[in-house]
Amino acid sequence: MLSEQEIVRRESLQAIRDLGINPFPAEKFEVNFKTTDFTTADLHKNMEADIEKIKGIGKVGAAKVVEFLAKNRFKVDNVLADEEFMKSVGLTETIEWDSGVDRPSTTLAEYIPTLRTDFLGDYGGDDGKELLFAGRIMENRTSFLNIQDAYGRVQIYLKKKEFVIEGLEEGAEKLFQKQLHLGDYLGLRGKMFVTQTGEVTVKVSHLKFLAKSLRNLPIVKKDKDGNVYDAFTDPELRYRQRYVDLTVNPHVKEIFLKRVKLMNVMRNYFNDQGWLEVETPILQPIHGGAAARPFKTHHNTLDMPLYMRIANELYLKRLIVGGFDGVYEFGKMFRNEGMDRTHNPEFTAMEIYVAYKDYIWMMEMVETLLEKIAQEVTGSTTVGYDGKEINFAGPYLRMTMFESIKKYTDIDVSKMNEEELRGVCKQFHIEVDNSMGKGKLIDEIFGEKVEANLIQPTYITDYPIEMTPLAKKHRTSEGLVERFELFINGKEIANAYSELNDPIDQRGRFEDQLELAKRGDDEAMVLDEDFLRALEYGMPPTSGLGIGIDRLTMMMTNQKSIQEVLFFPQMKAETVVEKEEETTE
């Protein structure tokens, strides 16, 4: 069933056709202007700058003129009518221009009416630039329409009988204009001017209809005090119809632009170092490289099971074996786990491996990188998140895992055996089961007692060997590996190792994992013979790092839900309303 408004749109579509206009033309529409090329804000800026140049009324007077005009929304008539104001700032005096400024001698009072056009620069006046641009109607006040393109909005003015509608016979303008609806796409040609109220506006000389919208966009309105009306906020609708969300909520688009920027900053930085962006398999016969439950699928021709990757680590290391000294990949990972505000079944990780480096070098690299990202994405190295100020300028605090537990629980677990660790867990009411080994128990204590305290960027280093089968044994501390995780606001953001490149040690670690699997750990790692073969040929000492791009984006855009930084977060299937069967006559 179509709603009343949908029927109106379809009738309008037909009406446009009846007027001889194709509502979905095939040919391109050439554009030479973006709505952000010149804005009302630019007008204000130019105005202030130019008035500063005016001599004779002095700086105080100039400031007053600007203030007055702004307060009157650039209604110059108001200024001229206010005699008291005119006198107070000396508006009747002749203006003496700076030597560099080419203007006729005049009084400010005579000059002010020309200001609005003047401040448009190349865009102003009858000989101003002819603008070609396209977008969709977001507000419609009959002769004033707001047009939105990919960058922003600009107001257009359709003055009766002063513009041509492509393909339309003369005299039918009014009929046509009635068929314009919110969301319709228009191609426009015109010149810029400034209205009495100080709005930068394009006076249209030529209009071409580009596409019809058959559904009603939920237009969000804002008054001059910034109050928002009819905000499109229902999360379900926003995520399911992201195209609508992006159209009517500019702040949403902003998040995704920042996400792209963040990834590009990383990409550029890595490329500058000569590291190589690569792609590795998403469908894997063995789901290695991390501890998580996979999605399983099946290949028909090969008649074999395949898994969606839970990590790409083992493939990237194979490439280091192959002789590249730096490889990185931005890739989707798939984990068959729960969903909440920080977890989506598919998520994006950036993994990088650099030969001849260690995890200490990697900490320094990450500090440099994150500081750069914060600066370029948010404009500052301090970023507000969840009401806190996160400082991304390095160096970051470093603590070993044992030190951090000692700090927040006053218990030294470094020398404890499995039984003693279980005792500590019991003391803190942490649930444990038999499948948990020493490493997992320590991780539980850490997760329960330490994590939440790590607000500012903090490296936790040197993890127990049992929970990290792919990292190299610590150079000095027995029973630990060279690993760090970066925590920000109590959440893990990055994970890195000095990579294990001793194939015999690696085989042993995999076997320990099999042991854990036997005890019931369904996330223990699987042994990958081909990966071991690669290590046996020889892998150089290497440091590797993984960063959760979604979570980092959340940090940089102050979002509390992962769904806000994914274009299309995973959702349950939308219930399809069964169409009523047509009654046969």
Partner RNA sequence: CACCCCGUAGCUCAACUGGCUAGAGUAGCGGUCUUUUAAACCGCGGGUUAUGGGUUCGAGUCCCAUCGGGGUAACCA
User: What part of residues 232-251 is at the interface with RNA (CB under 7 A)?
Assistant: 232-237, 239
User: What part of residues 479-518 is at the interface with RNA (CB under 7 A)?
Assistant: 491-492, 495
- Min dist CB 18 to RNA, Å, is 14
Residue 58 or 113 having the CB closest to RNA: 113
**Alpha-carbon distance values, 219 to 145, 227, 245 (Å):** 13, 14, 10
Interface segment toward RNA; rule CB under 7 A; list 125-133, 218-226, 276-284, 532-540: 218-226
Torsion of CA 4, 6, 8, 14, to 10 degrees: -150
Interface pick for RNA out of 223, 272, 478, 582 (rule CB under 7 A):
223
Q: Where are the beta strands (DSSP E) in 195-345?
A: 200-211, 221-222, 228-229, 276-277, 283-284, 296-299, 304-308, 326-334
Nearest Cα to Cα of residue 213 among 172, 168, 243, 191: 243
- Min dist CB 1 to RNA, Å, is 8
Residue 155 or 375 having the CB closest to RNA: 155
Interface pick for RNA out of 105, 127, 229, 419 (rule CB under 7 A):
229
- Min dist CB 292 to RNA, Å, is 5
481's CB contacts (< 8 A; 6+ apart) are 462, 463, 464, 465, 468, 471, 472, 473, 474, 497, 498, 500
Interface pick for RNA out of 45, 53, 71, 221 (rule CB under 7 A):
221
Please check whether residue 287 is in contact with residue 237, taking contact to mean a CB–CB distance below 8 angstroms: no
User: What part of residues 375-414 is at the interface with RNA (CB under 7 A)?
Assistant: none
User: What part of residues 97-136 is at the interface with RNA (CB under 7 A)?
Assistant: none
Interface segment toward RNA; rule CB under 7 A; list 105-113, 228-236, 379-387, 388-396: 228-236
- Min dist CB 510 to RNA, Å, is 17
Q: What is the 3-state secondary structure (H, E, C) of 165-190?
A: ECCCCCCCHHHHHCCCCCCCEEEEEE
565 vs 557: CA distance, rounded Å: 9
Interface segment toward RNA; rule CB under 7 A; list 100-108, 192-200, 206-214, 416-424: 192-200
526 vs 314: CA distance, rounded Å: 12
Please check whether residue 185 is in contact with residue 16, taking contact to mean a CB–CB distance below 8 angstroms: no
Residue 103 or 422 having the CB closest to RNA: 422
- Min dist CB 551 to RNA, Å, is 6
- Min dist CB 403 to RNA, Å, is 21
Counting contacts by CB under 7 A, is residue 5 touching RNA? yes
- Min dist CB 255 to RNA, Å, is 16
379 vs 376: CA distance, rounded Å: 5
Q: What is the three-class DSSP state of 149? A: coil
Counting contacts by CB under 7 A, is residue 578 touching RNA? no
Interface pick for RNA out of 572, 579, 582, 584 (rule CB under 7 A):
572
Interface segment toward RNA; rule CB under 7 A; list 4-12, 23-31, 253-261, 295-303: 4-12
- Min dist CB 407 to RNA, Å, is 21
Tokens of 122: 């190349």
User: What part of residues 280-319 is at the interface with RNA (CB under 7 A)?
Assistant: 290-293
360's CB contacts (< 8 A; 6+ apart) are none
Residue 54 or 239 having the CB closest to RNA: 239
Interface pick for RNA out of 303, 431, 582, 585 (rule CB under 7 A):
431
Rg (CA), the chain: 32
User: What part of residues 532-571 is at the interface with RNA (CB under 7 A)?
Assistant: 548, 550-551, 561-563, 571
Residue 64 or 240 having the CB closest to RNA: 240
Run of H or E residues at 351: strand 346-355
Q: Is 328 exposed, middle or buried (0-12, 13-18, 19+ CB in 10 A)?
A: buried
Find the length of the chain: 585
Residue 70 or 237 having the CB closest to RNA: 237
Interface pick for RNA out of 68, 144, 256, 567 (rule CB under 7 A):
144
Per-residue mark of binding to RNA, 152-191 (x: CB under 7 A): ---x-x-x------------------x--xx---------
Interface pick for RNA out of 135, 187, 190, 198 (rule CB under 7 A):
198
Please check whether residue 120 is in contact with residue 192, taking contact to mean a CB–CB distance below 8 angstroms: yes
348 vs 345: CA distance, rounded Å: 10
Residue 179 or 321 having the CB closest to RNA: 179
- Min dist CB 382 to RNA, Å, is 23
Please check whether residue 8 is in contact with residue 184, taking contact to mean a CB–CB distance below 8 angstroms: no
Please check whether residue 239 is in contact with residue 341, taking contact to mean a CB–CB distance below 8 angstroms: no
Counting contacts by CB under 7 A, is residue 193 touching RNA? yes
User: What part of residues 63-92 is at the interface with RNA (CB under 7 A)?
Assistant: 73
- Min dist CB 573 to RNA, Å, is 6
- Min dist CB 221 to RNA, Å, is 3
User: What part of residues 321-380 is at the interface with RNA (CB under 7 A)?
Assistant: 335, 337-345, 347
Residue 61 or 198 having the CB closest to RNA: 198
- Min dist CB 297 to RNA, Å, is 17
Residue 431 or 478 having the CB closest to RNA: 431
Count of chain residues binding RNA (CB under 7 A): 75
367 vs 372: CA distance, rounded Å: 8
Residue 386 or 412 having the CB closest to RNA: 386
- Min dist CB 533 to RNA, Å, is 25
Interface pick for RNA out of 139, 173, 325, 403 (rule CB under 7 A):
139
3-state helix, strand, coil in the chain (%, to 5): 35, 25, 40
User: What part of residues 10-49 is at the interface with RNA (CB under 7 A)?
Assistant: 12
Residue type (1 letter), 359 = Y
302's CB contacts (< 8 A; 6+ apart) are none
Run of H or E residues at 373: helix 359-378
**Could you say which DSSP state residue 241 is in?**
T
238 vs 221: CA distance, rounded Å: 17
